[in-house]
Amino acid sequence: MIDSLQEEFRRIYKGDPEYLFFAPGRVNLIGEHTDYNGGMALPVAISQGTWLLVSRNDKHKFVLRSLNVDDYAEVLVSPHYRRTNIDWVNYPLGVISRFTQLKDDGTSGLNMLFSGNIPRGAGLSSSASVEMATAFALNQIFEAGFGKMELVRMAVEAENDFVGVKSGILDQYAVTFGEKNTALALDCSSVSHTPVPCKLGEYTLMVINTNKTRSLTDTRYNERFAQCRQALGYLQQESPISELCELSPEQFENLRQLIPDPVLARRAQHVIEENDRVKQAVSALKKDDLELFGQLMFDSHASLRELYEVTGRELDLVVEISQRKGVAGARMTGAGFGGSAIALVHQAELKNFRKLVMSEYKKVTGYEPQLFPVKIADGVKQLTRQLR
């Protein structure tokens, strides 16, 4: 694999790569749309991700190429960068831009080649994976000395301000701090996590990519963000909170009448109850209670469907099919509006499950689903110090 990437690099850039990095994708087990509301989530990093090969050049340019997309960009090294009209390029370029603002000297031209095996638009954080590979690479190559947390913030700011998506910290955090066979009980208000061993016993964690792609630059994501802020504003009339997730579900029920718009009230209800479900899920996982854990996954999906309205018929169908024999729990993962679902499937039922999803899902939606087991992996890293 790495050999063929090096080969491609040589073919494109007529020289050897000097550095190699890898950043994983992520799956969020539970805790959706809580991160930008100061709540909890439970992500894992996965073995699929993005490789990044780099060499320095003397052209004073960042050359941004990918083996997954034909479009590429050459951008002069400068103190300021602008968005390009090539969608994928804006993710690494946003990071380069933020990096340059924070470290205003010493960057020089780089030949960069990205190659990923996360299906794009599948809700598995291919963009955060590209961002963190870039941030990690710049930090190492230019010896900037930023800590991992600073790199995470750099990538989130790039996505918020350069790409224009108001996403929270979940994806970049998981991609950076992920650990093999471990889930991260991530507290987005203190921005720290507790590692929780992810022992699934006789169950396998499966990803079901609906192949209904979506883009995070989708305005509906920013719309949900804005609705949460609005709901918060109403609640703050009587409560001194600064984030929705500071409220328990009971406290919220007592204050609910402050929100005049029922849609906004439903959005807040989802966020606050989902935060509570994550806490329950963490203690269920610690006690190896996969039955309860699975039930919380189903409840989370129902809430994302009914209250937050981000699921859509493809994800709903996958979860509905999963509600049959041999599945402890299933839900959408990531932002929603298409993308992937996850399911905890009993090993004895794996074959049947695959067959059932393949046939029923395709019959109804016309899309070919893609199923694969999740291997819980480590976060972003440099694979070799130097290749030459």
Known catalytic residues? 171
**Counting contacts by CB under 6 A, is residue 171 touching ligand GLA?**
yes
**Counting contacts by CB under 6 A, is residue 167 touching ligand GLA?**
yes
Q: What is the 3-state secondary structure (H, E, C) of the chain?
A: CHHHHHHHHHHHHCCCCCEEEEEEEEEECCCCCCHHHCCEECEEEEEEEEEEEEEECCCCEEEEEECCCCCCEEEECCCCCCCCCCHHHHHHHHHHHHHHHHCCCCCCCEEEEEEECCCCCCCCCHHHHHHHHHHHHHHHHCCCCCCHHHHHHHHHHHHHHHHCCCCCCHHHHHHHHCECCEEEEEECCCCEEEEEECCCCCEEEEEEECCCCCCCCCHHHHHHHHHHHHHHHHHCCCCCCCCHHHCCHHHHHHHHHHCCCHHHHHHHHHHHHHHHHHHHHHHHHHCCCHHHHHHHHHHHHHHHHHCCCCCCHHHHHHHHHHCCCCEEEEEEECCCCCCEEEEEEEHHHHHHHHHHHHHHHHHHHCCCCEEEECCECCCCEEEECCCC
Q: Which long-range contacts (CB under 8 A, 24 or more apart) does 78-85 make?
A: 79/104, 81/162, 83/162, 83/163
Q: How far is the CB of 88 from ligand GLA (least distance, A)?
A: 16
**Counting contacts by CB under 6 A, is residue 299 touching ligand GLA?**
no
Name the segment binding ligand GLA (CB under 6 A); options: 59-67, 162-170, 176-184, 282-290. Answer: 162-170
Site for ligand GLA in 172-191 (CB under 6 A): none
Name the segment binding ligand GLA (CB under 6 A); options: 45-53, 165-173, 253-261, 380-388. Answer: 165-173
Name the segment binding ligand GLA (CB under 6 A); options: 32-40, 199-207, 348-356, 365-373. Answer: 32-40
**Counting contacts by CB under 6 A, is residue 91 touching ligand GLA?**
no
Q: How far is the CB of 164 from ligand GLA (least distance, A)?
A: 13
First to last CA, the chain: 18
Name the segment binding ligand GLA (CB under 6 A); options: 143-151, 166-174, 290-298, 371-379. Answer: 166-174
Determine which residue in the list 170, 207, 278, 343 makes contact with ligand GLA, applying CB under 6 A: 170
**Counting contacts by CB under 6 A, is residue 308 touching ligand GLA?**
no
Determine which residue in the list 19, 30, 32, 175 makes contact with ligand GLA, applying CB under 6 A: 32
Gap between the Cα atoms of 370 and 193, Å rounded: 31
Q: How far is the CB of 236 from ligand GLA (least distance, A)?
A: 21
Determine which residue in the list 141, 335, 342, 345 makes contact with ligand GLA, applying CB under 6 A: 335
In the complex with ligand GLA, the residue whose CB is nearer, 170 or 344, is: 170
Name the segment binding ligand GLA (CB under 6 A); options: 30-38, 92-100, 178-186, 258-266. Answer: 30-38
**Counting contacts by CB under 6 A, is residue 168 touching ligand GLA?**
yes
Q: Write each residue from 203 to 242 as x if it is in contact with ligand GLA (CB under 6 A), else as -, in one continuous string.
A: ----------------------------------------
Q: How far is the CB of 109 from ligand GLA (least distance, A)?
A: 30
Please enumerate in sequence order all residues whose Cβ is within 8 A of that of 257, keeping only pairs 6 or more positions apart, or say none. none
Determine which residue in the list 9, 19, 21, 36 makes contact with ligand GLA, applying CB under 6 A: 36
Gap between the Cα atoms of 130 and 65, Å rounded: 12
Q: How far is the CB of 242 from ligand GLA (least distance, A)?
A: 18
**Counting contacts by CB under 6 A, is residue 25 touching ligand GLA?**
no
Gap between the Cα atoms of 259 and 264, Å rounded: 7
Q: How far is the CB of 130 from ligand GLA (least distance, A)?
A: 13
In the complex with ligand GLA, the residue whose CB is nearer, 33 or 65, is: 33
**Counting contacts by CB under 6 A, is residue 35 touching ligand GLA?**
yes
Q: Which residues of this protein are in contact with ligand GLA, per CB under 6 A?
A: 32-33, 35-36, 167-168, 170-171, 334-335
